[in-house]
A and B are shown apart, each in its own frame.
Chain A
Amino acid sequence: MEDHHTLTTNAIGFCLLPSELMQKILLHLPLPEIRLLGSLNKSIRNMIADQNFVRDYNLQSSSTTWLFVYRKRWRHDAILCYSDQSTRWFNMVGLTRLLKRVIFPGESVYFLAADGNFFLFASNSRQEVIVVNSATKVVKKIPPSPLGPRGTSSWRRSGMKLVSGSDHFRFFFAELVDNRPVVFFYASETDNWRSLKAIETSGELPRVNRKDGNPIFLNAVNGPRESLVIALGSERDAPVILRPRFYTGQDNGQQLTVGFNWENVIDRLYVYGDGHMVMLKSNGVDGMDIGVRKLEGIELWSLSLNGRNWEFISKLPTKMMEGIRKPYQAMMGCLEVVNGGMIRIALLSTFENAWDIIWLSYDVGRSEWCQVPLPACWMKGVNMAGIAFSSGLTM
C-alpha cells in the first residue's frame, strides 16, 4: 500500500491494459483472488464470468494443488486452504456456512477428504457423512454405508478415497468384515452404496480401468511389518488383496533405514496413501518431557510392482531435514499421489498448544524433494479436525 500516493498522482498517464492481457494476468492468480478482483469494474467482472475465462481457468486449475485444513476454535470453525500457487491462506467462509446448514451448533464434525469441488465431512454426533460441493453450493448428507452409521473414529484416512468428476463423485473405503477385506463405495449420481469383496491374488495387480491408469489403493490394516492394502482397478472387477511387507533381509548395500530396529518401533510413525508410505523417524529430546520428540528422518516408500513389498524410494535430504527438525508432541499427516508422478505429503504437528504444518513434495520423475513454504495461519490454541490435499478446485 506504500505506493498509494505516487500512484494517485500519476494515474492519468496510465495506459489501460487490453482485456485479453488482463485475462492472461488474472489466470496466474489463485481462485479466491480472481473472485475478489471481480469487484474492480464491470468489464472485468464480465470477463471473469465469461465462459472462455472459466474454461481456461478450470483447465489450468488441475495443476494447482490445494491443501485444506479444518481448524476448530470456539465458535470459529474454519476450513483454511493454501495452494502451491498462492502466498497466503484463505478461509473458505462459504464452505463453513454451507456446512452449518446441516449441523447443529456445537456438533462435532471431522473433515474426511476433498477432491475437485467436493468436500467430505463426518459428523460424530450423528454418525453421518456430509458432502459439500463448493462450486454448486449444494450440501447433502449421504445415506449410511452398508456397515451402518459410523463415528468419526472409524474413518481412517489411508482406507478411504474420494474421486471426483465435474458433477459427480465416488467415495471408497475399505474395511475388514468378518476378517475379509471389502471395498464399499458410494456413487453420487445414483445415491447408492455398493460393496466389492476383495480377492487373494498370485501377485498381480488388478486390471485398471481408470483415467490416470493407476488402481485405487486403500489400506485396510497398517502394521509396521506388513500392511493389508486393497487395489481396485475398476468398479466391475473384484479388488485385489495385497500384503506388502518390509524386506527385512540384507540391504544389498543400500543406504536405507540405517539402524532399523524393531525394538525401537515407537520412534517411527507412518503416513500411508495411494500405495505409498512415508516413514517418520524421530527421537526423544534431551531435557524435555518424555512425550516430546524431534523428527530425525523422513523416508518415502512405495508398493513394489507385484504388491508384495514396500520398496524404498527416497530419503529427505539432510539439508531439508535440518529445516524441519522441530520438537513435537503429536503428529499426523496425509499423503497423496497427484497425476501419477508427484507425491504430496502434509505433516501436521503440535507442540506446546500450537500447530505446525509442513508441506513436502517428491517429484518421482526428477527424484527431487521440495518443500512448499507455508505462512503462519493462526495455529495457537486450536484443534485440527482433518487435513487433505486436492487438485482441480474450479470456478
Chain B
Amino acid sequence: MASTDDKVILKSSEGECFEVDMAVASHLQIVKSVLEDCEGSSDKVVSLFIVEAKYVAMIIEYYKNYVELKEKHEEGGFEEKLKEFEKQFLEQIDKKELKGLVMAVNYLNAPALFDVVCTAIAKHIENKSVEYVREYFGIVNDFTAEEEAQIREEHRWAYDGVNDD
C-alpha cells in the first residue's frame, strides 16, 4: 500500500482539503500534470479552483473504489465488479448533480469516470420530452414556433415512439 509520501492534497473551490493516495489522484490527468510540473517541491497541494467539494468527494470515492477493485481482481472480473460499483455510485447522485459532476470530471480530465457520467446523463434524458431536456440542461429555446413545428414534423417523419396497448 501507499506510504504517506504517496499522498496528495486536493483543494476544492471552497478551500476544503482532501488527502488522497497518489494511486487514486493519478487518475486525474490534471493533478498528474500539475505534480509533474512542480516535481521536487515538497508542497503536494493541488488546487482545483472550479470544483466544489461535493464533486471532489464523489470523484475521489469513484477512483478509490476503482483502484481497490483493480487490485483485488487482478486475475479477472474487474470490469464486472466495477460495473456493479458504478451502478451503486450513480444511485447516490442526484440527477441535477450529474451535470456538475460531468463538468468537474471533464475539467480534471478523468476519462473512465467521464464516460460513466456521460452515459448516465444520456440514460436520464433518453425517452424524455424535448421540454424536459431543455429544462434539465437550462437550454433556452431560440426557435420560432414555426421553425420548431417544422423540425418536429421532420423528426416525426423519420421516427416515432411506440406505445404499448
Instruction: State in angstroms the CA–CA spacing of A42 and B139 once bound together.
Output: 10
- B135-A42 in contact (CB<8A): no
- For window 361-393 of chain A, which residues contact chain B by CB distance below 8 Å? 375-378, 380
Q: How far is the CA of A106 from the CA of B104 in the complex (A)?
A: 57
Using CB atoms, name the residue of chain B closest to A80: B162
Query: Chain B interface secondary structure, helix, strand, loop or mixed?
Result: helix
A39 & B157 in contact (Cβ 8 Å cutoff): no
A1 interface residue per 8 A CB criterion = yes
Q: Are A38 and B151 in contact (CB under 8 A)?
A: yes
Is B160 close to A, CB under 8 A? Answer: yes
Is the pair B165, A380 in contact by a Cβ cutoff of 8 Å? yes
Q: Are A3 and B122 in touch, CB under 8 angstroms?
A: no
Could you tell me if B159 and A91 are in contact, using CB atoms closer than 8 angstroms? yes
Flag whether B141 is at the interface (Cβ < 8 A): yes
B142:A42 contact, CB within 8 angstroms? yes
Q: Please provide the chain B residues from 95 to 134 with a CB less than 8 Å away from any CB of chain A in the complex.
A: 95-96, 99-100, 102-103, 106, 114, 118-119, 121-123, 125-130, 132-134
A117 to chain B, nearest CB (A): 12
Residues of chain A within 8 A of B140, CB atoms compared: 41
Cβ–Cβ contact A35 & B158, under 8 A = yes
Q: How many residues of A contact B (CB 8 A)?
A: 51
Provide the bound-state CA to CA distance between A354 and B53, in Å: 54
Question: B6 to chain A: which residues have CB within 8 Å?
Answer: none
- Binding stretch for chain B, among A92-100, A202-210, A226-234, A318-326: A92-100
Given contacts A39-B155, A93-B157, contact A24 B135 (CB under 8 A): no
B141 contacts across to A, CB distance below 8 A: 40-41
28 contacts between A and B (CB under 8 A): A1-B128, A7-B135, A16-B137, A17-B99, A21-B118, A22-B137, A25-B102, A27-B118, A27-B122, A28-B119, A30-B126, A32-B159, A33-B126, A36-B130, A37-B133, A38-B155, A39-B151, A39-B152, A40-B130, A41-B139, A41-B140, A42-B142, A44-B139, A93-B158, A97-B157, A377-B164, A378-B163, A378-B165
Sample of 14 further A-B pairs with CB below 8 A, known A17-B99, A39-B143, A80-B162: A4-B132, A7-B132, A11-B135, A15-B99, A21-B118, A29-B125, A33-B126, A37-B125, A37-B133, A39-B152, A40-B133, A41-B142, A90-B162, A92-B159
Enumerate chain B interface residues (CB-CB to A < 8 A).
Answer: 95-96, 99-100, 102-103, 106, 114, 118-119, 121-123, 125-130, 132-143, 148, 151-152, 155-165
